[in-house]
Amino acid sequence: MTADRVESPGHVVIVGASVGGSRLAAGLRKAGHTGGITLVDPDPDAPYDRPPLSKQILAGDWDAGRASLGDPAQWDAARRVAAAAELDAAGRTLCLDDGTRLGYDRLVLACGAAPRPLPGMPRRGVHTLRTLADCHGLRADLDRVGGTGHGRLVVVGGGFIGAEVASTARARGIGVTVVEALPAPLSALLGEEVAAELALLHADNGVRLLTGTSVASLVGEPSVTGVALTDGRVLPADAVVVGIGVRPNTGWLAGSGIPLHADGGVLCDAYGAADAARTVYALGDVARWRDPLLGRHVRVEHWTSAVEQAEAVARSITGARPAPYRNEFFVWSDQYGGKITLLGRPGPDDEVTVVRAGGERRRFAVAYRNGARLAAVLTVNWPKALVAARRSLAARGGADDVVAAWKDL
């Protein structure tokens, strides 16, 4: 597909009112779109930002209002609290689960993903964390568990969400065990050596980490009392949080003609379009965009990507100088009072250089190199190292330049 200039369409329907959908609505107005905009989302609390759900709101430091992304009225957008149920792409009609049929000139799929459950869910005391309602339910359970003085939380999955929940619970004095099927949390992304180093943050903060094992079953009925592992151990639990990944919300698109990837996600070109007529776009967790440099479709489940893709789709729809979008892959996570950042995408064959900073707190930076080229950078509790890496990347410096800059900090 090409990026020919198009006239701004009449009615844009956006399925999903989280950060991607909300930023798109705002971006369309900023780009001069004067037609109708309708935001469709079954979550009555939307639009709000998700990162605070595992941190500030869960901890009780923020009220929900601080995570608001604004009122759709700010973007002169209509709001429908309903779920998308079926798509007639040929007829440009979206059917909602309340029976409403919405016609559109352009449709944008920003409907995100759903947490993967464990067998035996739902069960009282077992939580996933995706919505504000999920956060309130988990927070109530942490209040209950923390109030006993000897509460036990089991977190299944040691990725960013699981680690952030563990950090928040630990700060409240709750005993936390993290169960991770991989040799170390995030080892598939970071490599085993770096992931093992990062995992030490859990031990530093009194969190028990069990790796190389997974959940066989949940114990207790109707309320959870424990977690049985595949290695035979049974962990007592007053509450359980499940963070074992997500599945893109594409089931309702079956039979629509919109192309879907076998591993999940809507297949899009480098401009976010999912069909040859360029009437349907997708962004955020549900989208798998073609990366022009990698030569393949990539799906990224992170806040920065959703924001940047929303800006790109707004340009594509309005014809405001659309350009192929390539995700630079920037991820951050707040854990145990510090910050972890990942800039770039580590490759399985990258060489790793670790530079450690002094001080009582664990602080280090990692350069992933492919030959002389700097492929990615991980920093842990070291903001100056990230600044130095960005500066070097902007100057097109190599991996040696970044490592030398870190050693001078």
What tokens appear for 206 in the block? 């009194």
Q: Please give the single-letter amino acid code of residue 236.
A: P
Provide CATH code, domain 117-242: 3.50.50.60
Domain with CATH 3.30.390.30 in the chain: 337-407
CATH 3.50.50.60 domain residues, the chain: 11-114+246-318, 117-242
User: DSSP assignment of 113-147, as one string?
Assistant: EEEPPPTT-S-BTEE--SSHHHHHHHHHHHHHHHH
Which residue has 């464990």 as its token pair? 118
pLDDT at residue 288 in the model? 96
- pLDDT confidence tier of residue 41, bands split at 50, 70 and 90: very high
Please give the pLDDT value at position 26. Answer: 97
Q: Which two tokens stand for residue 121?
A: 């869910």
Q: How far is CA 169 from CA 114, 121, 244, 322, 339, in A?
A: 23, 22, 18, 44, 17
Each residue's pLDDT tens digit, 309-337: 999 999 999 986 777 777 778 999 999 99
3-state helix, strand, coil in the chain (%, to 5): 30, 30, 40
Spell out the residues 6+ positions from residue 322 whose beta carbon is closer than 8 angstroms to its own: 3, 5, 271, 312, 315, 316
- Confirm if 238 and 125 have CB atoms less than 8 A apart: yes
DSSP string, 264-281: SSEEE-TTSB-STTS-EE
Q: What is the pLDDT of residues 244-260, one digit of tens each?
A: 999 999 999 999 999 99
**Domain at 337-407: CATH code:** 3.30.390.30
Q: Which CATH superfamily is domain 11-114+246-318 in?
A: FAD/NAD(P)-binding domain (3.50.50.60)
Q: What is the pTM of this model?
A: 0.93
